[in-house]
Structure 1
């Protein structure tokens, strides 16, 4: 028998062994790695969701700012779009698990049994045919030894029959080896085609995800970028508000009903000292006499009968309750006659109960100023 059929047979056996010893174990490894890949992606999308939830939270805080409201809205929109993209990625990998990993796992389990049975059947049939061929060749050799030196036609007929049998069995063996090799190679190719086909399908799905994610992320990207191109720009509404605060305001003290009563009962007409005509600002006295500080300091509310009458403006308050406060730090009026100087612990009688344009009006008890 020529060596060509034997070489083909070796190729057939090596092909079966390659599928069983290399390809199928490789598929098992792919299944395990694919599951790890899927878990890693799911962990990434979960971390991404947590991250963009935090981005959205920051956006919510910025949305209440008059100057950063638009940027806060942009942050919330960016967060929402990214989370949608993460959900699309999760759906893509659910298909990856369902259509690729699960199929590979099922295919591998079935194929191991199938390839083992197919290879054993090929080896058994090959051995059986080889045994028949070897027996026919042995019979021919035996017959020729018997017929040596003899010219009987009987041996010639038997020898021809053996040669025909050997030839037939050799042809059958060659055909079997050729068909077996072709089948083995096709079995191998079908498995690689299956693997390529599944990954092509996954590639299409991944491409579709990237296209969709790109569309979602880029459709509003220019408008997002426009909102942050100039960090020094202030919205018109805020500018209007600031300009309104910068406009000088004249402070006109209002008279209380008790002061009007005082005007009617006293011959002199005394009005509270005018506030400075400068731009309105918060006086340190106003801060000291703010509601919070009044609560923290010691003050006493008495009726008019509990205080000695004075020729000052405070005499008009004897019909109403007056508030006395004790100072908690000294203040020097300097040359400004509209301000009241006092020492720490002095008692001041308030002429009005609430601030007016950031100022309080009162009378220093021990000097009558």
Structure 2
């Protein structure tokens, strides 16, 4: 996480912490509501059930007593009327009036009892609902206080949060300073300063020569007659073993192991003469050149000769990496012929004359010591860029001095007739 996103991460953590506090406060209010309302209501409901059952039984018993008293008065009145029927009516009128008054008072008492019971039941019901409503009002008041506190807490922090994420194109001052320091021009490498002539100025080489880079002497040895690039290209397409100048210059650079991206020092394997061109570099065989430009341009490299500190362009096929050792005969067996010829030819010229083994055409011929052969003076070829050609590469017959011995064939494979 970068410094820019770290600030926004802190903002997100503060928002999450604020919501966590709000949520905890909300949970606390609900716990209080459960503790003060739900639990109390359950307790009161259980008690009210018992109270209502007892009250209902008492009401029923009182109602039954009043009802029985009223019915008994009505029964007595009926008996009195049956007795007074046909007899002295004046004698029973006073008693009948008394029974009528008793029945009326008991009916009024009965109606009052029913009305009082109904009113008491409604009040008890209202009392329960008032308790529940009062508890909910208290919970609502607590929730109102909770929302006000949450609003105040969030209202203080929201502007600072919005300020930090309002402009998405703006970075913090510390990050801007760090980016400015990174975007400034870096100091020059000590390795570049070591090879610079003008006290640390960057190397500005002259333009590469427009002419095609010269072919290495090894190519000239195997191609005595000049060939055009078109002919060489056509011969290369028809025969992969052809040594055209265009393909060989590229092959010699590749076979010598020269990697322009990683090598900085090379060793020359052929001498080179610049002539009148000041942009070219002259050197001898075995000199060390430091590459100032790692990239090859049309077969040319730009470097500094460590022996004379001169700079210039030189053919890439005239050198090989300095760190690599001379290729041995065992390692050169798996190398293509075109690559072996470039690297190993100058070293083969310095070897001793080759001693030919005695012929073994027949077992009865005595062996003779072979005299080392030396090249004849008439087959000597002129130097090419300071390097002598092999005698058999001068264009003559390489088998002119070879003498064949007569052999006797003792073939017994013919069938017997």
Place the TM-score, normalised by the shorter chain, in its bin. Answer: 0.5 to 0.7
Is residue 334 of structure 1 aligned with residue 296 of structure 2?
A: yes
Conserved? CA contact 1:71–1:228, under 8 Å: yes
Cα drift, residue 140 of structure 1: 0.4
Is residue 218 of structure 1 aligned with residue 121 of structure 2?
A: no
Partner of 2:249: none
1:104 and 1:337, CA in 2 relative to 1: closer, same or farther beyond 3 A?
A: farther
Write the distance in 2 (CA, Å) between the matches of 1:284 and 1:204.
Answer: 79
Cα drift, residue 145 of structure 1: 1.2
Cα drift, residue 105 of structure 1: 0.7
Partner of 2:234: none
Write the distance in 2 (CA, Å) between the matches of 1:206 and 1:161.
Answer: 67
Q: TM-score when scaled to structure 1?
A: 0.54
1:156 and 1:285, CA in 2 relative to 1: closer, same or farther beyond 3 A?
A: farther
1:250 and 1:338, CA in 2 relative to 1: closer, same or farther beyond 3 A?
A: farther
Cα drift, residue 196 of structure 1: 1.0
The range that moved more, 238-247 or 151-160, is 151-160
Partner of 1:113: 50
Cα drift, residue 120 of structure 1: 2.0
Q: Unaligned regions of 5+ residues in structure 1, if any?
A: 1-61, 256-270, 287-309, 315-330, 340-346, 349-362
Cα drift, residue 221 of structure 1: 0.3
> CA offsets per residue over residues 212-254 of structure 1, 9 Å max, x none?
1122222110110111111111222222222222222342527
1:241 and 1:338, CA in 2 relative to 1: closer, same or farther beyond 3 A?
A: farther
Cα drift, residue 160 of structure 1: 2.4
Cα drift, residue 107 of structure 1: 1.1
Is residue 70 of structure 1 aligned with residue 10 of structure 2?
A: no
Write the distance in 1 (CA, Å) between the matches of 2:261 and 2:127.
Answer: 90
Report the structure number with the largest CA radius of gyration.
Answer: 2
Partner of 1:98: 35
1:254 and 1:164, CA in 2 relative to 1: closer, same or farther beyond 3 A?
A: same
Partner of 1:165: 102
1:250 and 1:166, CA in 2 relative to 1: closer, same or farther beyond 3 A?
A: closer
Write the distance in 1 (CA, Å) between the matches of 2:57 and 2:178.
Answer: 90
Trace 1:14-93 onto structure 2 (pairs within 5 A).
62=1, 65-93=2-30
Cα drift, residue 197 of structure 1: 1.0
Higher helix proportion (structure 1 or 2)? 1
Conserved? CA contact 1:276–1:338, under 8 Å: no
Conserved? CA contact 2:22–2:150, under 8 Å: yes
Partner of 1:273: 195
Cα drift, residue 118 of structure 1: 1.1
Write the distance in 1 (CA, Å) between the matches of 2:39 and 2:64.
Answer: 38
Write the distance in 2 (CA, Å) between the matches of 1:249 and 1:70.
Answer: 29
Write the distance in 1 (CA, Å) between the matches of 2:295 and 2:48.
Answer: 100
1:121 and 1:338, CA in 2 relative to 1: closer, same or farther beyond 3 A?
A: farther
1:245 aligns to what SS in structure 2? helix
Conserved? CA contact 2:261–2:295, under 8 Å: no
Cα drift, residue 285 of structure 1: 5.2
Conserved? CA contact 2:261–2:294, under 8 Å: no
Partner of 1:364: 323
2:3 aligns to what SS in structure 1? coil
Larger relative contact order (C-alpha < 8 A, sep ≥ 6)?
1
Conserved? CA contact 1:250–1:277, under 8 Å: no
Q: TM-score when scaled to structure 2?
A: 0.48
